[in-house]
Structure 1
Amino acid sequence: MGDLKALLAPAWVHTVLGGVALLAVAWLVAWLVRHVLVRVMTTVSRRTAWHWDDALLKRGVFRRLAQVAPMLVLHRGIGWVPGVPVLVDTLVSTLTMALVALYVVLALNAALSALEDLYQASPRGRERSIKGYVQLVKIFVWLIGGIVIIAVLVDRSALSLLAGLGAVSAVLLLIFKDTIMSVVASIQLSSNDMLKVGDWISLPDDNVDGDVVEIALHTIKVVNWDKTISTVPTWHLISKSYRNYRHMYATGRRIRRALNIDLTSVRFLKPEEIEHLRQFKLMDGYFERKQEEIAQWNAAEGEAGKLPINQRRLSNIGSFRAYMQAYVLAHPGVNTDLFWAVRQLDPGPTGLPLQIYGYTVDTGFVAHNNVQGDIFDHLIAILPEFGLSLFQQPTGADMRAGLHRVDAEGAAVTA
């Protein structure tokens, strides 16, 4: 017993034992608060229909708050440890208060992230992102938290540090130049409804073409059609022009494709060909109206109108263009409420283009191309019924067939 008293007699032993006891109490408080608080909130979140508690728990807000308790125990308890030097007492008190401020900042940031998660889960959050605003608030939280932590460490008033920031405002503006520009751009994009998550945008100069998946404070993330990811500065969409296809999805997706007709196949229709084409349901009434119009025209020409060279006659190209118009109008996949037309463009080295200009009802990529392909599959297949053919560049097979024909004709002449 005497040896134990002798061992505990020195003052430094009391100090060490007091410090160990304080650390043990702080650890016990941390364990209790963390397990009790987290378990209670986990139980509450499972038994309630609210979503905010689930979001706070998922982001670790309560875990961050639980870390404050042992720091407060150390801050208050260090003064009760016997024989602690004043320097150690001040150092521990200062560090624990700085850590308290740090954990509070981390908890606030986690709470802001939970708020963003709740908003994104709402119907409005799927269209408009508040990530940029949340990041802006986080920057202010970290700025204020950093000032408080520095004020604690240097034992100065936080207000005096804030007053001193005025002297370095020019430096701060330079440091946060991109942030200020991004904030202004985010406000303009949101208030003018210029961009939403899910929009298909295109910036040809920057080789960006795809869907917007994230709108943050400084950058906008775009998944391109080749599945690469492009990050575009937020202010870039204000300083430069870009194309947004959102309105296209809300109205109709454009068709602008042409059939290039071989000019050598264009001619007037013969009477028997007209009778054959009268059987087409889509051409019902067309030939009657057109022949009556042509007869009136030719009659107005008098004697000159009796000569074939002076007469207007039905052509296969004009009849086919009328068939294209009737087919497009009858197709259920074409949105005829919007502007549409079948146009004859300028003839060129690749033939005479007959273009369909219109919009499909279904704006999905696959559905749009299916409708477009269905229309042109039919038109290409029925083209020979009008005595027309598509223009096509000569291939090797065409060259061989031509040479073989020349050789055969030469052999026949020689024989």
Structure 2
Amino acid sequence: MNIKHWLYDHLISLGMSDSTAKFLNMLALLIALLIVVLIIGYIIRRIIISISHRIAARSKTSFDDILVNNKVPLNVARIIPLLMMIEFMPAVLEDYPYIDGIVEKILQVLGIVFTLWIVRSILNAIKDYFKTLPNFKDKPIDSYIQVFMIIAWFIGIISSFAIIFEVEFITFVTSLGAASAVIILIFRDTILGFVASIQVSINDMVRIGDWITFEKYGADGDVIEINLATVKVQNFDKTITTIPTYALISDSFKNWRGMMNSDGRRIKRSLSVKMSSVKYLSAEHINGLKQIEIISDYIQKRSDDIIAHNESHNIDKTLLLNGRNLTNLGVFRKYVETYIEQHSAINENMMIMTRQLAPTATGVPIEIYAFSADKRWQNYEYIMADIFDHVIAAVPYFDLEIFEYSNITEVSRT
């Protein structure tokens, strides 16, 4: 370190005291080292990333592409500047052994963290690669990778504590094993939260900003904070619900992220039609329903097919029950489905269905199943209300009645 001695002698020659000269000497060398490390680190990172992208583009295998996508070269490049810091920092802090010891421990712990990042990215790359292989598509690869990652984090954390407390790794593990019962008893919630945090992170179960519904804790809103012990949810009424982190892996909750990331929000609601109002359609009724524009072609085609079938089989239509017939409920169901398909707020590229559910004591449920293109809550509710306003108002045109509980009261009185 001739530069160090030259700078120190120069500062002394300027009339500075020994302690001041040593401090300024250390500070100047530290700044110079940081600048050099940052520049070299940037150059090395660019070189490694460029080379890895070229190799991945030219090779026939997809594994190297997966390594690049999981940032393995980037994480490897981060290690090199850190190794330079570990190599040259003792010379810079030679006159301050106490600070040198602290900085050395910090750099070694950072080395462990960077190594864990490399291991994690490699394991994720292996996981993604195995998922591309037909023989492993139905295998629980995620579980195996999680086990290896937990072991890696455990070894890394134990190694970090051993470095901080200047204890041999084996000695630290042995001491930890002897005190494990007391540690588990005292730090039960913290340990559960820590394990839950790892699993939540690895499985990508919840992110900040996700809308979740957790009925057990009365939570229905956006996640605003995730920490070791708790998850904070801001409900839509602006109240805050605090959920234990380990509850996310021990209890069931609903995460709406999949809906938010999709192309639509599901509408799944039904109305019940009185069974006594369901009937066959006569020719007069059919001619009247043909005036409904959006299903006039459907009714014409269906009625022509039914007439042709009944005539070909010489069916006696003096009694309406004989042969094939249109029903007011069936035509109504087709009308609702056509109306939804033509609705401007419905995503026509996702499933659209109007189905009849099993009859109940409250009538025959007709369920609308579709997806609104606008996923925002307020607009979604408006779209759904607009659809059912129209459908409910359309029911009498088909000589149908909607079931209401008031009908039960009237029947009981009679």
Aligning the two structures, in what range does the TM-score lie when normalised by the shorter sequence? 0.5 to 0.7
Any stretches of 5+ residues in structure 1 without a counterpart? 1-19, 76-94, 152-156, 395-415
Instruction: For residue 336 of structure 1, report the CA deviation from its aligned partner.
Output: 6.7
Instruction: For residue 364 of structure 1, report the CA deviation from its aligned partner.
Output: 3.5
Tell me if 1:195 matches 2:217. Answer: no
Instruction: For residue 205 of structure 1, report the CA deviation from its aligned partner.
Output: 0.3
1:199, 1:212 within 8 Å by CA — same for their partners in 2? Answer: yes
Pick aligned residue for 1:240 from 246, 251, 263: 251
Instruction: For residue 199 of structure 1, report the CA deviation from its aligned partner.
Output: 6.0
Name the CA shift for 1:167/1:110 in 2 (closer, same or farther; >3 Å): closer
Partner of 2:266: 254
Cα distance in 2 for partners of 1:166, 1:135 equals 17
Partner of 2:347: 333
Residue aligned with 2:391, SS: helix
Please list the CA deviations of residues 120-141 of structure 1 after superposition, one character each: whole Å capped at 9, or x if unmatched: xx9x9xxx9x9x9698677435
Residue aligned with 2:205, SS: coil
Partner of 1:33: 29
Residue aligned with 1:170, SS: helix
Pick aligned residue for 1:146 from 154, 157, 164: 164
Amino acid at match of 1:333: N
Name the CA shift for 1:357/1:182 in 2 (closer, same or farther; >3 Å): same
Please list the CA deviations of residues 6-29 of structure 1 after superposition, one character each: whole Å capped at 9, or x if unmatched: xxxxxxxxxxxxxx62x3244123
Tell me if 1:99 matches 2:102. Answer: yes
Name the CA shift for 1:42/1:189 in 2 (closer, same or farther; >3 Å): closer
Name the CA shift for 1:42/1:369 in 2 (closer, same or farther; >3 Å): farther
Q: Which has the higher mean CA deviation after the structures are superposed, 276-285 or 195-204? A: 195-204
Name the CA shift for 1:158/1:276 in 2 (closer, same or farther; >3 Å): closer
Instruction: For residue 353 of structure 1, report the CA deviation from its aligned partner.
Output: 6.3
Higher RCO (CA < 8 A, seq sep 6+): 1
Name the CA shift for 1:338/1:323 in 2 (closer, same or farther; >3 Å): closer
Amino acid at match of 2:205: L
**Residue correspondence of structure 1 range 206-355 to structure 2 within 5 A:** 206-210=217-221, 224-225=235-236, 232-245=243-256, 253-259=265-271, 272-279=284-291, 280-283=293-296, 284=298, 285-289=301-305, 305=319, 316-328=328-340, 333=347, 341-343=355-357, 345-346=359-360, 348=362, 354-355=365-366
Amino acid at match of 1:321: R
1:282, 1:327 within 8 Å by CA — same for their partners in 2? Answer: no
- TM-score, L = length of structure 1: 0.53
Partner of 1:168: 179
Amino acid at match of 2:289: L
Partner of 1:24: 20
Residue aligned with 2:266, SS: strand
2:274, 2:403 within 8 Å by CA — same for their partners in 1? Answer: yes
Name the CA shift for 1:205/1:354 in 2 (closer, same or farther; >3 Å): same
Residue aligned with 2:269, SS: strand
Please list the CA deviations of residues 200-239 of structure 1 after superposition, one character each: whole Å capped at 9, or x if unmatched: 5432102233456777665556565556665544432332
Cα distance in 1 for partners of 2:234, 2:154 equals 24
Please list the CA deviations of residues 105-164 of structure 1 after superposition, one character each: whole Å capped at 9, or x if unmatched: 675588689989x99xx9x9xxx9x9x96986774355223321xx6xxxxx78766655
**Residue correspondence of structure 1 range 62-77 to structure 2 within 5 A:** 71-75=93-97
Instruction: For residue 103 of structure 1, report the CA deviation from its aligned partner.
Output: 3.9
Please list the CA deviations of residues 354-397 of structure 1 after superposition, one character each: whole Å capped at 9, or x if unmatched: 43242427583468657645543543454454356767899xxx
1:259, 1:354 within 8 Å by CA — same for their partners in 2? Answer: yes
Name the CA shift for 1:356/1:147 in 2 (closer, same or farther; >3 Å): same
Partner of 2:131: none
- Across the aligned residues of Structure 1 and Structure 2, the Cα RMSD in angstroms comes to 5.9
Amino acid at match of 2:295: L
Amino acid at match of 1:254: R
Cα distance in 2 for partners of 1:138, 1:212 equals 29
**Residue correspondence of structure 1 range 37-116 to structure 2 within 5 A:** 37-43=33-39, 49=46, 71-75=93-97, 95-96=98-99, 98-104=101-107, 107-108=110-111
Q: Which has the higher mean CA deviation after the structures are superposed, 214-223 or 36-45? A: 214-223
Amino acid at match of 1:282: I
Please list the CA deviations of residues 9-58 of structure 1 after superposition, one character each: whole Å capped at 9, or x if unmatched: xxxxxxxxxxx62x3244123311332133334555777746969x97xx
Partner of 1:92: none
Residue aligned with 1:143, SS: helix
**Residue correspondence of structure 1 range 120-139 to structure 2 within 5 A:** 139=157
Cα distance in 1 for partners of 2:267, 2:314 equals 38
Cα distance in 1 for partners of 2:113, 2:198 equals 23
Residue aligned with 1:73, SS: coil
- TM-score, L = length of structure 2: 0.53
Aligned residues: 331
Any stretches of 5+ residues in structure 2 without a counterpart? 1-16, 50-70, 129-141, 407-414
Name the CA shift for 1:145/1:389 in 2 (closer, same or farther; >3 Å): same
Task: State which structure, 1 or 2, has the greater radius of gyration over its C-alpha atoms.
Answer: 1
Cα distance in 1 for partners of 2:196, 2:188 equals 12
1:343, 1:357 within 8 Å by CA — same for their partners in 2? Answer: no
Name the CA shift for 1:388/1:353 in 2 (closer, same or farther; >3 Å): same
